[in-house]
Amino acid sequence: MKPLTKAEEQIMHSIWKLETAFLKDIIDAQPDPKPHSNTIATIVKILVDKGFVGVNQIGRVHQYFPTVSKEDYSSSTIRNLVDGYFEGSFADAVSFMVKQKDISVKELELLLQEMKKIKK
């Protein structure tokens, strides 16, 4: 799966949240200061071309919907990050976060509990 630019990700987050949306809905969902509507329309077209967003034509307007789930994109992005920076080792990635103090012992314990639940 191709990575998205920051601007594309911001638009995708709005579309994921809205589930189906017209361009006006996507524009309204953007934080202030909002990008120009032409900029948003261009990004939505790029997302359609990349296969992340589908389109239903309703009369003369387009209704947009995600074709890639947030979970699938998140999984792919994290996998690419771990592959690119930690030679595919999630253990090395977690170890790095611990050393950077980006993750606490309590959070690690919660992750371990979650992993135990999944294995059962």
Element (H, E) at 57: strand 53-58
CA 69 – CA 51 distance, rounded (Å): 11
* One domain for residues 90 and 110: yes
- pTM of the full structure: 0.82
Q: Which domain holds residue 96?
A: 70-119
Instruction: Categorize the per-residue pLDDT at 91 as very low, low, confident or very high, splitting at 50, 70 and 90.
Output: confident
> Is the pLDDT at 30 greater than 90, yes or no?
yes
* pLDDT for position 56: 96
- Summarize pLDDT for 39-70 with one digit per residue, the tens: 999 999 999 999 999 999 999 999 999 999 99
Q: For 15-20, which contacts have Cβ atoms below 8 Å and span 24 or more sequence positions? A: 15/47, 15/53, 15/64, 15/65, 15/66, 16/66, 16/69, 16/70, 19/65, 19/66, 20/56, 20/63, 20/64, 20/65
> Is the pLDDT at 33 greater than 80, yes or no?
yes
Measure the N-to-C terminal CA separation of the chain; round to a whole number of Å.
31
* One domain for residues 55 and 76: no
Residue that finishes a domain, picked among 66, 89, 108: 66
- Kindly state whether residue 77 falls inside one of the protein's structural domains: yes
For all residues of the chain together, what is the average pLDDT? 92
CA atoms within 13 A on the CB side of 45: 6
* pLDDT for position 3: 87
* One domain for residues 59 and 14: yes
- Kindly state whether residue 86 falls inside one of the protein's structural domains: yes
- Kindly state whether residue 1 falls inside one of the protein's structural domains: no
* One domain for residues 60 and 19: yes
Please give the residue that has the higher pLDDT: either 120 or 7. 7
Residue that finishes a domain, picked among 26, 51, 66: 66
* pLDDT for position 26: 97
* One domain for residues 14 and 59: yes
* pLDDT for position 117: 84
Q: How many domains does the chain have?
A: 2
Q: Are 73 and 1 in contact (CB under 8 A)?
A: yes
- Kindly state whether residue 51 falls inside one of the protein's structural domains: yes
